[in-house]
Amino acid sequence: MLKNYFKIAVRNLWKYKTNSLVSIIGLSLGIGCFLLLATYVLHEVRYDRFQVNSADIVRVNLFYQSGDSEPVNVAVTPTAVAPVFAREFGEIKEAVRLYPYSGGGAVAVKYDDKLFNEKKVLFADASYFKIFPSEFTEGDQATALAQPNSVVIDQTTARKYFGDESAIGKSVLMNENLTMQVTGVIADIPSYSHIKWNWLGSYSTLPRSKTETFDAANEYTYLQLQRQANVGALQAKVDQYVAKNLNNPQDPSTKLRFELEAFNRIHLYSNVSAGLEASGNYKYVYILSGVGLLILVIACINFINLVTARSVVRAREVGVRKVMGADRMQVFRQYLFECGLITILAIVIGLLISFLGFPILSNLTESALGLGIWPAYSVILLMIGLAVVVTLLSGLYPAAVLSGFEPIKVLKGKILATNSGSGLRSSLVVFQFTVSVLFIIGTIIANQQLQFIQNRNLGLNPSQIIVVNMGTGISTGKLTTIKNELLNNPIVESVTASYDSPLNVQGGYTITASDKPQNFQLNITAIPVEKDFVPTLGMQLVAGQNFNDTDILQATADSAALRKFAFILNESAVKALGWTAETAIGKLVSMNGREGAVKAVAKDFHFRSLHEKIGPIAIIPEYNYFGKIMVKIAGNESTQAVELLRKSWKENFPMRPFEYHFLDQEFDDMYKAENRISSILALFSGITIFIACLGLFALIAFISEQRTKEIGVRKVLGASVASIVLLLSKDFVKLMLIAIAIAVPAAWYGMNKWLSDFAYQIKISPFTFVYVGLATIAIALLTTSFQSIKAALMNPVKSLKSD
């Protein structure tokens, strides 16, 4: 019987070639896109869960607020948190500190004649591999970080430096002053880990490991709790400890708290800043999960639409088979078998589409995506499940309808005269295009927001600025030398340096003022800079003057007693301090031990993502911490400027590799997540519309075929081609209008929620909805017009011939 089912199925697939081809293409695209997006979603959801202790690990975050100033909530803590908490609380099994060497910037690593800039360099306590066990290919994780000057590397790094030789015992030089010995090699860390490193040094190597302090916060602290420990109860104990030992009861306006955050939730749900890696966004995971499912559902809808439409044509076939003795169950099984065959073909092609699509999606998401991310056998089980679900979704209703036809009515033509299934088909078409309109509107508004971000006046000008990461700082003498060399060339407009990127300043401080109460403190961000930082970045001063050579001499005085700082505050800082720009000039302030006066007030500029409102910031001429050199170039001389900078760099820093980027590219990179979601939405919106139009094309072809005689009669009676095209198209236009009416309010609500994540955002224009509505109707008309015109131009004599 199975053989007969197969023969009949193949015969019918061939007989209705257009229908079959459209069904297979639509389902294949739907399944392929679903697999691509499901793999990306799985990659995001699996973040950090591969760690065997992940359910028992928490990260300690720092919350700090002083008075009415904006609260600080960061992922870093002081050095004392890990050891003190481990001693104080029995719920803690192990504690580890992670310290990004050179502030997470590039580290120059030298081995023999090989020299590289390494960006993923961390230092960790010896307990690291107890909390995060790893697969060691060389060395012993129990002792790998036990001694100072030890370092563990991953396999890719080992091959890069040592080839096929054993890495154990090899010595490397970091930043020209730190000799480290390789004590272990691990398998590469998966891309779905928020703790990524190529070099992991022993924390005991660093002088900071010798002291336990609750002052400066630069370490990432992770705690492994006892299996039965209650996080809420431990948090209460931590709060009590802080209240008793660290908070000042005489100053209730100042709040300090160490918050425990579940390790598995960090990537998607964390809202703290300064993490080891830019966090993902659970909203985007939900969005892309929905997109993947909707594309699959739309592909199934196409299938349902087409098979229900064809069921009328096949009614006579069913009638004849029933007269010949076939029972309802046989017809039902035959039809399901045909649907299953198409589904299996579509799954095979869909798998091929996903294989071809993984490199594209990996590039878009900057993740190593592939079916290898899925657990063993899960893809096979998923494909079997898809085959069953899609077959049932697509074939159950048509099979039930077909097998239920009464042979006498069918053979008399009564079934053919009805409009069987038209209500369902109309509803499904409305659903398809509602989703399509939602995707189009979402993509357009996302692009408008990104354009708004890119064109917004940042208060500084990042264009034509080359940035070179120093990693560990640069001496004042070296900076002066390289600056003078570069300024001797006319293609260089100016040169400056800073600790942080001016687009992503992270340094957290507190500032006090001489005219404020003794207990007054304002949380403020600060950035140490070279004296020409403000003009090089194109910032505007609304009061006062820029730094001069005298300010630099005072700030870099050898004696701390003689050291004096000049401050440039932004408008937000001045406002928070209760001053105007004019009255702020000359005010005496103190910031974490740095005493001085306000020299100028800068117009507010964006020193972080546009997701955050502009807060108070101080710019100070402090020359001990420069990690970035910035070169402003003239005109379009970027190639010559890079070569000039490369030559000067090699002469002044022969032990450090030359790596550079442009500051405006760094600005674009800040919105990778938004660009990523926008690009993915645009890609899959196009595919969704294509699938929907494919089904619409096949439906209009079927309806035109069904109404051939009616069209012939109308033409004989004098109907024009235009009136016939309008007749065939108007019902679909009505469906498009219904879809638009449903999609517009849903899209307006959803995109307003998305835009609420930005402190600075566009206002959604009603014209966007109008344009999308008109475009959707135009697409539908274009899709239906070919078949409509073809039917309208058919010779009526031929149309009216009897079957």
pLDDT, tens only, 744-755:
999 999 899 888
* pTM passes above 0.85: no
More confident residue, 155 or 658: 155
Judged against a pLDDT cut of 80, whether residue 412 lies above it is answered with: no
**What's the chain's Rg over C-alpha atoms?**
34
| Region 708-712 average pLDDT | 64
Judged against a pLDDT cut of 60, whether residue 415 lies above it is answered with: no
Helix/strand/coil for 376: coil
> Burial, 97: exposed, middle or buried (Cβ in 10 Å; 0-12, 13-18, 19+)?
buried
Determine which of 24-33, 639-648, 677-686 has the lowest per-residue pLDDT on average: 677-686
| Region 481-489 average pLDDT | 89
pLDDT at 393: 72
pLDDT at 53: 94
More confident residue, 366 or 551: 551
On average, the pLDDT of the chain sits at 83
pLDDT at 596: 93
Beta pairing partners, 601: 543, 569
pLDDT at 220: 94
Judged against a pLDDT cut of 50, whether residue 705 lies above it is answered with: yes
Please state, in angstroms and rounded to a whole number, the distance separating the CA atoms of residues 311 and 292: 29
Tokens of 205: 């190597």
More confident residue, 697 or 285: 285
| Region 525-548 average pLDDT | 93
> Burial, 244: exposed, middle or buried (Cβ in 10 Å; 0-12, 13-18, 19+)?
exposed
pLDDT at 781: 78
Judged against a pLDDT cut of 50, whether residue 96 lies above it is answered with: yes
pLDDT at 61: 94
| Region 548-569 average pLDDT | 88
Judged against a pLDDT cut of 60, whether residue 19 lies above it is answered with: yes
pLDDT at 471: 61
Judged against a pLDDT cut of 80, whether residue 37 lies above it is answered with: yes
Half-sphere exposure of 167 (CA within 13 A, CB side): 30
> In the structure, what pLDDT confidence band is assigned to residue 334 with cuts at 50, 70 and 90?
confident
pLDDT at 373: 85
pLDDT at 401: 64
Task: Output DSSP code: residue 148.
Answer: T
Phi, psi of 625 (to 5 degrees): -125, 20
Beta pairing partners, 84: none
pLDDT at 748: 93
Q: Which helix (H) or strand (E) holds 673?
A: helix 672-706
> In the structure, what pLDDT confidence band is assigned to residue 627 with cuts at 50, 70 and 90?
confident
pLDDT at 803: 47
Could you read off the pLDDT of 757-778 as tens digits, one per residue? 888 888 999 999 998 889 888 8
Could you read off the pLDDT of 273-284 as tens digits, one per residue? 767 777 778 888
| Region 20-47 average pLDDT | 88
61-93 burial string, b = 16+ CB within 10 Å, else e?
Answer: bbebbbbebbebbbbbbbbbbbebbbeebebbb
Percent of the chain predicted with pLDDT > 90 = 34
pLDDT at 703: 66
pLDDT at 418: 45
Sheet containing strand 628-633, edge to edge, reads: 492-498, 628-633, 465-469, 660-662
pLDDT at 324: 63
Please state, in angstroms and rounded to a whole number, the distance separating the CA atoms of residues 582 and 345: 75
Judged against a pLDDT cut of 50, whether residue 36 lies above it is answered with: yes
pLDDT at 417: 44
Tokens of 553: 């001499």
| Region 644-670 average pLDDT | 84
